[in-house]
Amino acid sequence: MPRKILIVDDDKSIIEITKVVLEINGYEVLSAFDGKEAMAKVRHEIPDLIMLDLLMPKMDGWEVYNQLKEYSKTAHIPIILVSALDKDTEMNKEMDVEGYLEKPFEINQLIAKINNVLASKRE
Protein backbone atom coordinates (compact mmCIF):
# COMPACT_ATOMS: atom_id res chain seq x y z
CA MET A 1 0.00 0.00 0.00
CA PRO A 2 1.53 3.35 -0.99
CA ARG A 3 2.42 5.87 1.71
CA LYS A 4 0.09 8.88 1.74
CA ILE A 5 1.43 12.45 1.59
CA LEU A 6 -0.61 15.62 2.06
CA ILE A 7 0.77 18.68 0.27
CA VAL A 8 -0.50 21.95 1.76
CA ASP A 9 0.36 25.02 -0.32
CA ASP A 10 -1.56 27.93 -1.81
CA ASP A 11 0.59 27.79 -4.96
CA LYS A 12 -1.28 25.45 -7.31
CA SER A 13 1.73 24.99 -9.60
CA ILE A 14 3.87 23.70 -6.70
CA ILE A 15 1.14 21.22 -5.78
CA GLU A 16 0.68 20.04 -9.37
CA ILE A 17 4.39 19.50 -10.06
CA THR A 18 5.09 17.93 -6.67
CA LYS A 19 2.06 15.66 -6.95
CA VAL A 20 3.21 14.26 -10.30
CA VAL A 21 6.74 13.62 -9.03
CA LEU A 22 5.55 11.98 -5.82
CA GLU A 23 3.08 9.75 -7.69
CA ILE A 24 5.84 8.67 -10.08
CA ASN A 25 7.85 7.72 -6.98
CA GLY A 26 5.02 5.52 -5.70
CA TYR A 27 3.29 7.80 -3.20
CA GLU A 28 -0.42 8.51 -2.89
CA VAL A 29 -0.91 12.28 -2.83
CA LEU A 30 -3.59 14.45 -1.25
CA SER A 31 -3.57 18.21 -1.64
CA ALA A 32 -4.97 21.27 0.10
CA PHE A 33 -4.70 24.90 -0.98
CA ASP A 34 -5.04 26.46 2.48
CA GLY A 35 -4.90 25.48 6.13
CA LYS A 36 -8.63 25.04 6.62
CA GLU A 37 -8.83 22.62 3.70
CA ALA A 38 -5.78 20.77 5.07
CA MET A 39 -7.38 20.30 8.49
CA ALA A 40 -10.60 19.03 6.89
CA LYS A 41 -8.65 16.47 4.82
CA VAL A 42 -6.59 15.32 7.80
CA ARG A 43 -9.78 14.61 9.74
CA HIS A 44 -10.93 12.22 6.97
CA GLU A 45 -7.64 10.62 5.95
CA ILE A 46 -4.59 10.52 8.18
CA PRO A 47 -1.53 10.97 5.92
CA ASP A 48 1.86 9.40 6.57
CA LEU A 49 3.57 12.77 6.05
CA ILE A 50 2.56 16.40 5.54
CA MET A 51 4.40 18.94 3.39
CA LEU A 52 3.35 22.26 4.88
CA ASP A 53 3.73 25.78 3.52
CA LEU A 54 3.80 28.50 6.17
CA LEU A 55 2.34 31.50 4.34
CA MET A 56 -1.22 30.71 3.23
CA PRO A 57 -4.65 32.33 3.29
CA LYS A 58 -7.51 31.38 5.66
CA MET A 59 -5.23 29.53 8.08
CA ASP A 60 -1.44 29.77 7.94
CA GLY A 61 1.02 26.94 8.42
CA TRP A 62 1.79 27.86 12.04
CA GLU A 63 -1.86 27.48 13.00
CA VAL A 64 -2.14 24.20 11.07
CA TYR A 65 1.01 22.93 12.81
CA ASN A 66 -0.36 23.86 16.25
CA GLN A 67 -3.71 22.18 15.61
CA LEU A 68 -2.05 19.02 14.29
CA LYS A 69 0.22 18.76 17.34
CA GLU A 70 -2.66 19.35 19.80
CA TYR A 71 -4.80 16.50 18.41
CA SER A 72 -3.70 13.02 19.53
CA LYS A 73 -4.62 11.36 16.20
CA THR A 74 -2.39 13.75 14.22
CA ALA A 75 0.39 14.72 16.65
CA HIS A 76 2.60 11.87 15.38
CA ILE A 77 2.45 12.83 11.68
CA PRO A 78 5.86 13.96 10.42
CA ILE A 79 5.89 17.44 8.90
CA ILE A 80 8.26 18.89 6.34
CA LEU A 81 8.02 22.67 6.12
CA VAL A 82 8.23 24.09 2.62
CA SER A 83 8.52 27.86 2.64
CA ALA A 84 10.08 30.92 1.08
CA LEU A 85 10.92 32.08 4.61
CA ASP A 86 14.45 31.63 5.86
CA LYS A 87 14.87 28.44 7.88
CA ASP A 88 16.11 30.39 10.88
CA THR A 89 13.07 32.66 11.07
CA GLU A 90 12.27 33.02 14.78
CA MET A 91 8.84 31.45 14.32
CA ASN A 92 10.31 28.34 12.70
CA LYS A 93 12.59 27.62 15.67
CA GLU A 94 9.65 26.71 17.88
CA MET A 95 8.30 24.10 15.47
CA ASP A 96 9.37 20.49 15.92
CA VAL A 97 9.44 19.31 12.32
CA GLU A 98 11.24 16.53 10.48
CA GLY A 99 12.57 18.73 7.72
CA TYR A 100 12.65 22.08 6.01
CA LEU A 101 12.90 22.96 2.33
CA GLU A 102 13.29 26.53 1.21
CA LYS A 103 11.42 27.54 -1.95
CA PRO A 104 12.40 27.14 -4.66
CA PHE A 105 13.58 23.62 -3.91
CA GLU A 106 15.04 20.89 -6.06
CA ILE A 107 12.73 17.92 -6.64
CA ASN A 108 15.52 15.45 -5.87
CA GLN A 109 16.03 17.18 -2.48
CA LEU A 110 12.33 16.78 -1.76
CA ILE A 111 12.23 13.09 -2.66
CA ALA A 112 15.36 12.37 -0.59
CA LYS A 113 13.93 14.24 2.41
CA ILE A 114 10.57 12.43 2.19
CA ASN A 115 12.20 9.02 1.73
CA ASN A 116 14.48 9.62 4.73
CA VAL A 117 11.68 10.82 7.00
CA LEU A 118 9.35 7.97 6.10
CA ALA A 119 12.14 5.37 6.39
CA SER A 120 12.99 6.61 9.88
CA LYS A 121 9.30 6.40 10.90
CA ARG A 122 9.16 2.72 9.91
CA GLU A 123 11.90 1.78 12.36
- What digits encode the pLDDT tens for the residues 73-103? 999 999 999 887 666 654 555 677 888 888 8
Q: In angstroms, how far is the first alpha carbon of the chain from the final one?
A: 17
In the chain, how many domains are there? Answer: 1
Domain span at residue 73? 4-122
Contact 30, 47 (CB under 8 A): yes
How far are the Cα atoms of 8, 33, 115, 116 from residue 120, in angstroms, in the given order?
Answer: 22, 28, 9, 6
Contact 50, 68 (CB under 8 A): yes
Would the pTM count as exceeding 0.85? yes
Q: Measure the CA–CA gap between 50 and 38, rounded to whole angstroms.
A: 9
Tell me the per-residue pLDDT of 12-48, one tens digit each, with 9 for 90 and over. Answer: 999 999 999 999 999 999 999 999 999 999 999 999 9
Q: In the prediction, which pLDDT does 123 show?
A: 52
Domain holding 57: CATH number? 3.40.50.2300
Q: In the prediction, which pLDDT does 90 show?
A: 45
